[in-house]
Amino acid sequence: MRSLTLLRHGRTSYNAEGRFQGQVDVPLDELGLEQARAVALHLAGSASISRIVSSDLRRAAQTAQALSEATGVPVAHDASLREISVGDWEGYTRDEVAEKWPEELDAWLAGTDMRPPGGESRNESATRVFEAINRLVDEAPEDEDLVVVAHGAVIRSATEMLLDMADGRGRLGVLTNCTYARLSPGRTGWVLRAWGGGAESVALARPDTDATVVSAS
């Protein structure tokens, strides 16, 4: 493999409203569609892309489709790349979760590896996506430039695992909507070449609007 790009999907109404999204199949909103087209044009003009694999949730699939239309590269879908499931919290704002599950939310915000009621732990979802990425990498020829389109929480946690950061010695921030991480293989492991790439192109999608809303999950 020559390069690995991990692209977060565009904005959804849940992102805009600060709702826990998890695996609810929410589509992109109008701004999210603009962000997807903008980052697709940016990537098509600035990177070599030979394969696109996306989470099957609509917000990621729509973002991947915009990239496919800009590059002519078809999209494959993989349910293993879905966002972390936050179970019973999905669809609620943080304030609403705080009212119903105050102790559980406190533990979540403290960074413990707990499971939201009916959901996954951070480690479970990170391992799922990490293993999916490693499978795609193992399948890739030496000259492949792979783009994986997925979700903020699992991109961050899987990237930390790829970089051997999972022992708590460091943390990455969550990528904003339609920005990406780019990695390349090195002699002893992955090298992080970009984190938050594409931010300028996404901001230009609608300069009078906040284009960097971060999902509650």
Strands 51-54 and 190-197 turn out to be unpaired
In this structure, the dihedral spanned by the alpha carbons of residues 119, 123, 126 and 127, taken in order and rounded to 10 degrees, is -110
Residue 196 pLDDT exceeds 90:
yes
- Signed CA dihedral, 197, 51, 217, 15: sign only: positive
Instruction: State percent of the chain over pLDDT 70.
Output: 93
Token output for 171: 């943390």
Check residue 170 and give its pLDDT: 76
SS3 120: coil
Confidence of residue 37 (pLDDT cuts 50, 70, 90): very high
pTM of the entire predicted model: 0.93
Residue 174 DSSP class: P
Token output for 173: 């921030």
Instruction: State the CB neighbour count (10 A cutoff) for residue 57.
Output: 25
Residue 169 pLDDT exceeds 80:
no
Check residue 111 and give its pLDDT: 87
Bridge-partner residues for 53, per DSSP? 76, 148
Residue 166 pLDDT exceeds 70:
no
CA distance 18 to 162: 28
| pLDDT tens digits, 76-132 | 999 999 999 999 999 999 999 999 999 999 999 998 899 999 999 999 999 999 999
Check residue 213 and give its pLDDT: 38
Check residue 215 and give its pLDDT: 44
* Mean pLDDT of all residues belonging to the chain: 92
**Dihedral class, residue 168 (left if φ above 0, else alpha if ψ from -120 to 50, else beta):** left
Check residue 74 and give its pLDDT: 98
Q: Tell me if residue 83 is catalytic.
A: yes
**Dihedral class, residue 87 (left if φ above 0, else alpha if ψ from -120 to 50, else beta):** left
Confidence of residue 145 (pLDDT cuts 50, 70, 90): very high
Confidence of residue 47 (pLDDT cuts 50, 70, 90): confident
- Signed CA dihedral, 95, 101, 103, 107: sign only: negative
Q: Name the active-site residue from 34, 42, 83, 120.
A: 83
Q: Tell me if residue 151 is catalytic.
A: no
Check residue 201 and give its pLDDT: 84
Check residue 168 and give its pLDDT: 64
- Number of helical H runs and strand E runs in the chain: 8, 6
Confidence of residue 217 (pLDDT cuts 50, 70, 90): very low
Q: Which residue has the higher pLDDT, 210 or 184?
A: 184
Confidence of residue 211 (pLDDT cuts 50, 70, 90): very low
| Residue listed under structure tokens 């979802």 | 125
Check residue 212 and give its pLDDT: 38
Phi then psi for residue 185, to 5 deg, are: -75, 135
CA nearest 54: which of 9, 85, 14? 9
- Signed CA dihedral, 36, 38, 41, 47: sign only: negative
